[in-house]
Amino acid sequence: MKNVSETLSCLLLQIDLLWQQPDQNLVRIASKIADTKNVDLIVLPELFSTGFCFDTHLAETMTGRTVKWMEKMAAQTGAHLMGSIMIKENANVYNRMLLVSPNKTIQYYDKKHLFAYSGENRFFTSGNEIKIFDINGWKIKPIICYDLRFPVAIRNVEDYDLLVCVANWPDKRVSAWDTLLKARAIENQCYALGVNRIGKDENQLNYIGHSITIDPLGNALTEISEKEALLKTTLFKKEITQTRDRFPFLNDRDLFSIN
Protein backbone atom coordinates (compact mmCIF):
# COMPACT_ATOMS: atom_id res chain seq x y z
CA MET A 1 0.00 0.00 0.00
CA LYS A 2 1.24 3.46 -0.89
CA ASN A 3 2.31 5.59 2.06
CA VAL A 4 0.16 8.66 2.62
CA SER A 5 1.66 11.65 4.38
CA GLU A 6 -0.52 13.19 7.09
CA THR A 7 0.89 16.65 6.34
CA LEU A 8 1.81 18.69 3.28
CA SER A 9 4.18 21.62 3.70
CA CYS A 10 3.64 24.30 1.05
CA LEU A 11 5.53 27.41 -0.02
CA LEU A 12 3.77 30.03 -2.17
CA LEU A 13 5.98 32.40 -4.17
CA GLN A 14 4.31 35.75 -4.89
CA ILE A 15 6.65 37.66 -7.19
CA ASP A 16 6.83 40.31 -9.91
CA LEU A 17 7.40 38.82 -13.37
CA LEU A 18 9.60 40.42 -16.02
CA TRP A 19 7.85 40.73 -19.39
CA GLN A 20 9.06 38.12 -21.89
CA GLN A 21 12.36 37.60 -20.10
CA PRO A 22 12.48 33.88 -19.25
CA ASP A 23 16.17 33.72 -18.32
CA GLN A 24 15.93 36.64 -15.90
CA ASN A 25 12.72 35.34 -14.35
CA LEU A 26 14.25 31.92 -13.71
CA VAL A 27 17.30 33.51 -12.09
CA ARG A 28 15.14 35.72 -9.86
CA ILE A 29 12.87 32.86 -8.82
CA ALA A 30 15.83 30.56 -8.13
CA SER A 31 17.32 33.20 -5.83
CA LYS A 32 14.09 33.18 -3.80
CA ILE A 33 13.69 29.42 -3.40
CA ALA A 34 17.21 27.95 -3.70
CA ASP A 35 17.70 27.63 0.07
CA THR A 36 14.27 26.14 0.72
CA LYS A 37 14.31 23.15 3.06
CA ASN A 38 11.71 20.79 4.53
CA VAL A 39 8.98 21.78 2.07
CA ASP A 40 6.89 19.34 0.05
CA LEU A 41 5.45 21.76 -2.54
CA ILE A 42 6.61 25.08 -4.00
CA VAL A 43 4.01 26.92 -6.11
CA LEU A 44 4.86 29.62 -8.67
CA PRO A 45 2.44 31.96 -10.54
CA GLU A 46 0.82 31.40 -13.94
CA LEU A 47 3.25 31.76 -16.89
CA PHE A 48 6.02 32.45 -14.39
CA SER A 49 8.80 32.54 -16.98
CA THR A 50 7.23 35.08 -19.39
CA GLY A 51 4.33 36.89 -17.76
CA PHE A 52 0.81 36.66 -19.22
CA CYS A 53 1.72 37.30 -22.84
CA PHE A 54 0.68 35.63 -26.10
CA ASP A 55 4.06 35.68 -27.85
CA THR A 56 4.02 32.02 -28.69
CA HIS A 57 7.55 32.11 -30.11
CA LEU A 58 8.52 31.92 -26.43
CA ALA A 59 6.75 28.57 -26.07
CA GLU A 60 9.02 25.69 -25.14
CA THR A 61 8.88 21.92 -25.34
CA MET A 62 8.72 19.46 -22.48
CA THR A 63 12.48 19.03 -22.85
CA GLY A 64 13.15 22.78 -22.95
CA ARG A 65 15.10 25.02 -20.61
CA THR A 66 12.28 25.87 -18.20
CA VAL A 67 11.27 22.25 -17.63
CA LYS A 68 14.93 21.37 -17.11
CA TRP A 69 15.21 24.30 -14.70
CA MET A 70 12.17 23.02 -12.76
CA GLU A 71 13.75 19.57 -12.57
CA LYS A 72 16.98 21.11 -11.26
CA MET A 73 15.22 23.25 -8.63
CA ALA A 74 13.03 20.35 -7.49
CA ALA A 75 16.10 18.16 -7.02
CA GLN A 76 18.00 20.95 -5.27
CA THR A 77 15.22 21.83 -2.80
CA GLY A 78 13.78 18.34 -2.39
CA ALA A 79 10.33 19.81 -3.08
CA HIS A 80 7.79 19.34 -5.84
CA LEU A 81 7.71 22.45 -8.04
CA MET A 82 4.43 23.66 -9.54
CA GLY A 83 3.57 26.49 -11.95
CA SER A 84 2.44 27.13 -15.53
CA ILE A 85 4.45 27.89 -18.68
CA MET A 86 3.86 28.01 -22.44
CA ILE A 87 4.36 24.56 -23.95
CA LYS A 88 4.34 23.79 -27.66
CA GLU A 89 3.29 20.35 -28.89
CA ASN A 90 2.94 19.73 -32.60
CA ALA A 91 1.03 22.78 -33.91
CA ASN A 92 -0.55 23.66 -30.56
CA VAL A 93 0.53 25.91 -27.70
CA TYR A 94 -0.83 25.25 -24.21
CA ASN A 95 -0.88 27.19 -20.97
CA ARG A 96 0.36 24.16 -19.06
CA MET A 97 0.56 23.63 -15.32
CA LEU A 98 3.49 21.39 -14.43
CA LEU A 99 4.16 19.49 -11.24
CA VAL A 100 7.79 18.39 -11.24
CA SER A 101 9.04 16.06 -8.51
CA PRO A 102 12.58 15.80 -7.11
CA ASN A 103 13.01 12.54 -9.05
CA LYS A 104 12.01 14.33 -12.31
CA THR A 105 8.58 12.75 -12.57
CA ILE A 106 6.26 15.24 -14.31
CA GLN A 107 2.50 15.58 -14.03
CA TYR A 108 0.70 18.26 -16.05
CA TYR A 109 -2.62 19.95 -16.74
CA ASP A 110 -3.53 22.17 -19.72
CA LYS A 111 -5.71 25.20 -18.96
CA LYS A 112 -9.28 24.34 -19.91
CA HIS A 113 -10.96 27.75 -19.78
CA LEU A 114 -9.01 30.20 -21.92
CA PHE A 115 -9.54 33.89 -21.17
CA ALA A 116 -11.36 35.02 -24.33
CA TYR A 117 -11.86 38.50 -22.82
CA SER A 118 -8.12 39.10 -23.39
CA GLY A 119 -7.80 36.99 -26.55
CA GLU A 120 -6.01 34.04 -24.94
CA ASN A 121 -8.20 31.63 -26.93
CA ARG A 122 -6.74 32.98 -30.21
CA PHE A 123 -3.21 31.90 -29.32
CA PHE A 124 -3.52 28.90 -27.02
CA THR A 125 -5.27 25.55 -27.35
CA SER A 126 -7.70 24.58 -24.62
CA GLY A 127 -7.02 21.49 -22.55
CA ASN A 128 -9.65 18.77 -22.68
CA GLU A 129 -8.74 16.65 -19.67
CA ILE A 130 -9.58 16.97 -15.99
CA LYS A 131 -6.48 16.05 -14.01
CA ILE A 132 -5.69 15.10 -10.43
CA PHE A 133 -2.06 15.27 -9.32
CA ASP A 134 -0.56 13.20 -6.52
CA ILE A 135 2.05 14.16 -3.93
CA ASN A 136 2.73 11.65 -1.17
CA GLY A 137 -0.86 10.43 -1.30
CA TRP A 138 -2.34 13.94 -1.38
CA LYS A 139 -4.81 14.35 -4.26
CA ILE A 140 -4.38 17.78 -5.84
CA LYS A 141 -6.71 19.49 -8.31
CA PRO A 142 -4.76 21.89 -10.57
CA ILE A 143 -6.46 24.90 -12.18
CA ILE A 144 -5.16 28.03 -13.87
CA CYS A 145 -6.50 31.57 -13.31
CA TYR A 146 -9.77 31.91 -15.32
CA ASP A 147 -10.63 28.27 -14.50
CA LEU A 148 -11.48 29.52 -11.02
CA ARG A 149 -14.72 31.05 -12.32
CA PHE A 150 -16.12 27.67 -13.44
CA PRO A 151 -17.22 25.61 -10.43
CA VAL A 152 -18.66 22.69 -12.42
CA ALA A 153 -15.24 21.61 -13.72
CA ILE A 154 -13.81 22.07 -10.22
CA ARG A 155 -16.56 20.18 -8.38
CA ASN A 156 -15.01 17.67 -6.02
CA VAL A 157 -16.17 14.37 -7.47
CA GLU A 158 -12.70 12.83 -7.06
CA ASP A 159 -12.45 13.44 -3.28
CA TYR A 160 -9.36 15.56 -3.82
CA ASP A 161 -7.65 17.17 -0.84
CA LEU A 162 -6.23 20.38 -2.25
CA LEU A 163 -7.18 22.82 -5.01
CA VAL A 164 -4.21 24.75 -6.44
CA CYS A 165 -4.82 27.81 -8.62
CA VAL A 166 -1.97 29.78 -10.21
CA ALA A 167 -2.79 33.14 -11.76
CA ASN A 168 -2.08 36.52 -13.30
CA TRP A 169 -5.22 38.12 -11.81
CA PRO A 170 -5.37 41.95 -12.08
CA ASP A 171 -6.09 44.23 -9.14
CA LYS A 172 -9.36 45.53 -10.63
CA ARG A 173 -10.91 42.08 -10.15
CA VAL A 174 -9.01 40.94 -7.07
CA SER A 175 -12.18 40.90 -4.93
CA ALA A 176 -13.48 38.15 -7.22
CA TRP A 177 -10.21 36.24 -6.73
CA ASP A 178 -10.56 36.49 -2.94
CA THR A 179 -14.21 35.45 -2.97
CA LEU A 180 -14.00 32.62 -5.49
CA LEU A 181 -11.03 30.93 -3.83
CA LYS A 182 -12.87 30.94 -0.53
CA ALA A 183 -16.07 29.64 -2.15
CA ARG A 184 -14.23 26.82 -3.95
CA ALA A 185 -12.68 25.68 -0.65
CA ILE A 186 -15.99 25.72 1.20
CA GLU A 187 -18.13 24.03 -1.46
CA ASN A 188 -15.54 21.31 -2.14
CA GLN A 189 -14.52 20.84 1.52
CA CYS A 190 -10.85 20.99 0.61
CA TYR A 191 -7.85 23.20 1.12
CA ALA A 192 -7.52 25.88 -1.57
CA LEU A 193 -4.19 27.43 -2.43
CA GLY A 194 -3.96 30.42 -4.77
CA VAL A 195 -0.74 32.00 -6.08
CA ASN A 196 -1.02 35.32 -7.92
CA ARG A 197 1.75 37.61 -9.19
CA ILE A 198 2.43 41.25 -8.31
CA GLY A 199 3.72 44.17 -10.38
CA LYS A 200 2.68 45.76 -13.70
CA ASP A 201 2.97 44.16 -17.13
CA GLU A 202 3.38 45.64 -20.61
CA ASN A 203 -0.41 45.73 -21.04
CA GLN A 204 -0.48 48.19 -18.13
CA LEU A 205 -2.33 45.70 -15.96
CA ASN A 206 -1.52 45.96 -12.27
CA TYR A 207 -1.28 42.92 -10.00
CA ILE A 208 -1.36 43.00 -6.20
CA GLY A 209 -1.04 39.34 -5.28
CA HIS A 210 -3.43 38.24 -2.51
CA SER A 211 -1.89 34.77 -2.68
CA ILE A 212 -3.43 32.66 0.05
CA THR A 213 -4.08 29.25 1.56
CA ILE A 214 -7.63 28.53 2.78
CA ASP A 215 -8.81 25.60 4.91
CA PRO A 216 -11.88 23.40 4.15
CA LEU A 217 -14.10 25.68 6.27
CA GLY A 218 -13.06 28.82 4.40
CA ASN A 219 -10.59 30.19 6.95
CA ALA A 220 -7.43 31.91 5.71
CA LEU A 221 -4.20 30.24 6.85
CA THR A 222 -1.80 32.81 5.37
CA GLU A 223 -1.91 36.59 5.64
CA ILE A 224 -2.77 38.68 2.57
CA SER A 225 0.24 40.46 1.09
CA GLU A 226 0.43 42.90 -1.82
CA LYS A 227 4.23 42.78 -2.04
CA GLU A 228 6.75 40.11 -2.96
CA ALA A 229 6.35 37.35 -0.44
CA LEU A 230 7.14 33.76 0.46
CA LEU A 231 4.12 32.30 2.21
CA LYS A 232 4.62 29.01 4.03
CA THR A 233 1.92 26.83 5.51
CA THR A 234 1.38 23.21 6.53
CA LEU A 235 -1.78 21.32 5.62
CA PHE A 236 -3.19 18.43 7.66
CA LYS A 237 -5.13 15.43 6.33
CA LYS A 238 -7.08 15.19 9.57
CA GLU A 239 -8.55 18.65 9.01
CA ILE A 240 -10.13 17.46 5.77
CA THR A 241 -11.39 14.22 7.28
CA GLN A 242 -12.81 15.90 10.36
CA THR A 243 -14.55 18.59 8.30
CA ARG A 244 -16.16 16.06 5.96
CA ASP A 245 -17.15 13.74 8.83
CA ARG A 246 -18.72 16.57 10.83
CA PHE A 247 -20.40 18.19 7.82
CA PRO A 248 -20.99 15.44 5.21
CA PHE A 249 -22.22 17.90 2.57
CA LEU A 250 -20.34 16.23 -0.28
CA ASN A 251 -22.64 13.22 0.10
CA ASP A 252 -25.42 15.39 -1.37
CA ARG A 253 -23.48 16.71 -4.36
CA ASP A 254 -25.17 16.56 -7.76
CA LEU A 255 -24.09 14.10 -10.41
CA PHE A 256 -23.18 15.53 -13.81
CA SER A 257 -20.96 15.08 -16.84
CA ILE A 258 -18.71 17.69 -18.48
CA ASN A 259 -18.77 18.10 -22.25
Question: What are the residue numbers of the active site?
Answer: 46, 111, 145
Write a three-state SS string for 68-86: HHHHHHHHHHCCEEEEEEE
Work out the end-to-end distance of the chain between its first and last CA atoms, rounded to an integer number of angstroms.
34
DSSP characters for 155-213? --SS--SEEEEEE---GGGHHHHHHHHHHHHHHHTSEEEEEE-EEE-TT--EEE---EE
* CA quadruple 217, 218, 223, 228: dihedral sign: positive
d(CA 122, CA 126): 10
Q: How far is CA 13 from CA 99, 118, 172, 185, 197, in A?
A: 15, 25, 21, 20, 8
Helix (H) or strand (E) run with residue 109 in it: strand 106-110
- Neighbouring CB atoms inside 10 A of 71's CB total 19
